[in-house]
Amino acid sequence: MADEYILRMSNITKTFPGVVALNDVHLDVRPGTVHALVGENGAGKSTLMKVLIGMYQKDSGTVVFDGQEVDLHETAEGLDLGISMIHQELAPVPEMTVAENIYLGREPLNGLRLVDKALMRRMAQELFDEWSIPLDPAVQMKKLTVASMQLVEIAKAISYDAKAIIMDEPTSAITDREVDLLFTMIRRLRDRGTAIIYISHKMDEIFKISDEITVFRDGQWVLTEPASSLDIPALITAMVGRELTHMFPKEEAEIGDVLLEVRNLNRGPLVKDVSFTLRKGEILGLAGLVGAGRTEVLETIFGVHRAESGQILVDGERVDVHEPRDAIAAGMALLTEDRRATGIMGVLSVRDNMFAAALPRYSPGGMVDRKRIDRAAEEQRTALAIKTPSLDQLIKNLSGGNQQKVLVSRWLLTMPDILMIDEPTRGIDVGAKSEIHRIISTLAKEGKAVLMVSSEMPEILGMSDRILVMHEGEVTGEVSRAEATQDKIMQLATGTDAAA
């Protein structure tokens, strides 16, 4: 039984204009196992999965699923065969409820052939109960955080009772607590015989959950091994094709005067009386569980949402922030959490996306200085190793991690004094991640102030000089770099540290 494959993809080649995304690769997955698919940004992982479910047409190669050769042209066919997928880029229908999103396209009908909303909600509730998902099926999707949307997406994939479930970076937007929940779900699915294809850039997760690992590099297959015969350094070497020091160590920076001060900031239930200071040269981490209000704090400071009350001072001077442009004028930058909603401009080129925020610097008198733009864009492309055939490529055609890199450069180009970053390395591969950490560290060393939200403990612990922890909209504690531990932060984050 163990030798039987549920899925065999052989000699798959897929090209896009100017890009060979997959070059004669193969992937064999056994039922009842978790098979990790890893590789750098743009290695071709998502493309292979989209070929599998029929979203892209392969140029050549064969796919055998459950003993039958298949050639899918519509994603619906994949679902019928028993393959469901959690996409890297979420595509929820914001106006619909959670239940409606889960059963989109296969709504239960009542006697009058109308959608039976009550039944649909009950089905969703049962699904959530069965898998201990802490969500309300009746709320509108747009009211949810990115992390909760991700949970909905996971629930949806499970609800198909598929034989194989593809998870493309399912944990890039969720915190440890939800990751634990997801892993419990994955193990239960695996024990039922479901095959899981698991794509992630998080090394520890990969080794925690997977039975087998396949590595791709630049569209080519590199290896497939049992997880037990690999370790993190070996895996990284296979991915990047050379040895790489694992994490970039944060450099010491001189901590100067207070640059940003936030006083009694309030907005709705997720920003309650938040006060803190941020100094030049300092990296301040903002930790907490999903829904603790970290993103909302950043967005309120930046003017994405109007604050109900409170003050923001930059360099000791009060600034009135009504719109993001006011914050930018005061020297701030915000890399937002939701890449799709507030980040990329899909149909525009990589170049246009890079210069969305910094254009005033590059257009004296309103006229765009193309030469300078091209030079600066090339510099960013090299510095962040952005993989794209050209700067004219539409950003929607880049891999998820490369899109994120373009957004990072969008803000670097504005040369901010205060850099606010929400999950900066979300979906970014190990090599580029340590590169982005190096850039953040250098900026701090140059006297910039950095406010960083991250759900990744190692990132928060490794990069921050000081860590603020939030719980249900309130700052519940502050820990210095020296005294910070995962346990300490979790206690504050879950609000169980009342005694301390």
Partner 1 sequence: MSTTTNAPQDSATAITSRFNWGELARKYLIILILIGLIVLLTIFTGGSFIKTQNLINVVRQVSAIGIIACGMTFVIITLGIDLSVGATVAVAAVVSASLAQTDQASVIKFPGLDLPVVVAVAAALGVGALLGLLNGLLITKARIAPFIATLGGFTAYRGIAYIYSDGRPISTLKDGFNWFGQGDVLGIPVPIILFALVAVIASILLNRTRFGRYTYAIGGNDQAARVSGINIDRVRLGIYTFVGLLAGLAGLILAARIGSGNPTLGTQMELDVIAATVIGGTSFVGGIGTIWGSVVGALIIGTINNGLDLLNVSPFWQMVVKGAIIVVAIIIDERKNR
Ligand X SMILES: Nc1ncnc2c1ncn2[C@@H]1O[C@H](COP(=O)(O)OP(=O)(O)OP(=O)(O)O)[C@@H](O)[C@H]1O
**In this complex, which beta carbon is closest to ligand X, that of residue 336 or of residue 397?**
397
Could you tell me the smallest distance in angstroms from the CB atom of residue 155 to partner 1?
26
Select the binding partner of residue 218 from Mg ion, partner 1, ligand X, none (C-beta < 5 to 8 A, by kind): partner 1
* Residue 253: both structure tokens together: 């920076």
Q: Residue 438 is which amino acid?
A: R
203 binds ligand X (CB under 6 A): no
Could you tell me the smallest distance in angstroms from the CB atom of residue 169 to ligand X?
7
| Strand pairing report for 164-168 and 195-199 | parallel
Q: How distant is the alpha carbon of residue 94 from its chain centre?
A: 19
Residues 405-434 that bind partner 1 (CB under 8 A): 410
Task: List C-alpha distances in Å: 383 to 84, 250, 387, 476.
Answer: 37, 18, 11, 38
397 binds ligand X (CB under 6 A): yes
Residues 20-39 that bind ligand X (CB under 6 A): 21, 39
Count of residues in the chain: 500
Task: Pick the stretch among 156-164, 174-182, 345-353, 397-405 that binds partner 1 (CB under 8 A).
Answer: 345-353
| φ, ψ for residue 32, nearest 5 deg | 65, 25
DSSP per residue, 28-72 = EE-TT-EEEEE-STTSSHHHHHHHHHTSS--SEEEEEETTEEE--
Task: Pick the stretch among 118-126, 305-313, 365-373, 475-483 that binds partner 1 (CB under 8 A).
Answer: 365-373
Residues 46-65 that bind partner 1 (CB under 8 A): 59-60
Residues 399-418 that bind ligand X (CB under 6 A): 399-402
Dist. CA 3–CA 29, nearest whole Å:
10
Task: Pick the stretch among 120-128, 179-187, 255-263, 363-371 that binds partner 1 (CB under 8 A).
Answer: 363-371
Name which position in 398, 408, 450, 468 contacts ligand X (CB under 6 A): 398
Could you tell me the smallest distance in angstroms from the CB atom of residue 446 to partner 1?
22
Cβ atoms of residues 285 and 468 within 8 Å? yes
Task: Pick the stretch among 45-53, 189-197, 266-274, 276-284 that binds ligand X (CB under 6 A).
Answer: 45-53
Q: Which of 436, 358, 353 is nearest to 395 (CA)?
A: 353
Residue nearest to Mg ion (CB): 46
- Name the β-bridge partners of 260: 278, 314
**In this complex, which beta carbon is closest to ligand X, that of residue 22 or of residue 330?**
22
Dist. CA 36–CA 155, nearest whole Å:
20
Dist. CA 381–CA 233, nearest whole Å:
26
Dist. CA 206–CA 189, nearest whole Å:
17
| Helix segments in 54-175, DSSP class H | 75-81, 98-102, 117-130, 146-159
Could you tell me the smallest distance in angstroms from the CB atom of residue 313 to Mg ion?
41
**In this complex, which beta carbon is closest to partner 1, that of residue 94 or of residue 256?**
94
Task: Pick the stretch among 69-77, 124-132, 349-357, 484-492 that binds partner 1 (CB under 8 A).
Answer: 349-357
* Residue 181: both structure tokens together: 């929940």
Could you tell me the smallest distance in angstroms from the CB atom of residue 44 to Mg ion?
9
* Residue 174: both structure tokens together: 């969720």
Could you tell me the smallest distance in angstroms from the CB atom of residue 168 to ligand X?
7
Residues 211-240 that bind partner 1 (CB under 8 A): 218-220
**In this complex, which beta carbon is closest to ligand X, that of residue 296 or of residue 429?**
429
24 binds partner 1 (CB under 8 A): yes
CB within 8 A of 427, min separation 6: which ones? 41, 88, 169, 172, 201, 339, 400, 401, 404
| Strand pairing report for 466-471 and 474-480 | antiparallel
Name which position in 46, 84, 175, 214 contacts Mg ion (CB under 5 A): 46
Size of the site for partner 1 (CB under 8 A): 45
Cβ atoms of residues 244 and 434 within 8 Å? yes
**In this complex, which beta carbon is closest to ligand X, that of residue 284 or of residue 428?**
428
Residues 374-403 that bind Mg ion (CB under 5 A): 399-400
> 99: helix, coil or strand?
helix
295 binds ligand X (CB under 6 A): no
**In this complex, which beta carbon is closest to partner 1, that of residue 89 or of residue 205?**
89
75 binds partner 1 (CB under 8 A): no
Residue nearest to ligand X (CB): 401
Dist. CA 134–CA 151, nearest whole Å:
9
Name which position in 54, 170, 343, 477 contacts partner 1 (CB under 8 A): 343
**In this complex, which beta carbon is closest to partner 1, that of residue 185 or of residue 334?**
334
**105 CB neighbour count, 10 Å cutoff:** 6
> 300: helix, coil or strand?
helix
Select the binding partner of residue 398 from ligand X, Mg ion, partner 1, none (C-beta < 5 to 8 A, by kind): ligand X
Dist. CA 106–CA 102, nearest whole Å:
9
Could you tell me the smallest distance in angstroms from the CB atom of residue 295 to Mg ion?
23
CB within 8 A of 31, min separation 6: which ones? 4, 5, 6, 163, 193, 194, 195
* Binding stretches for Mg ion (CB under 5 A): 46, 88, 399-400
* Binding stretches for ligand X (CB under 6 A): 16, 19, 21, 39, 41-47, 88, 387, 397-402, 429
* Binding stretches for partner 1 (CB under 8 A): 13, 15-20, 23-24, 59-60, 218-220, 302, 304, 323-325, 327-329, 334, 336, 341-348, 352, 355-357, 359-360, 363, 366-368, 370, 387, 410
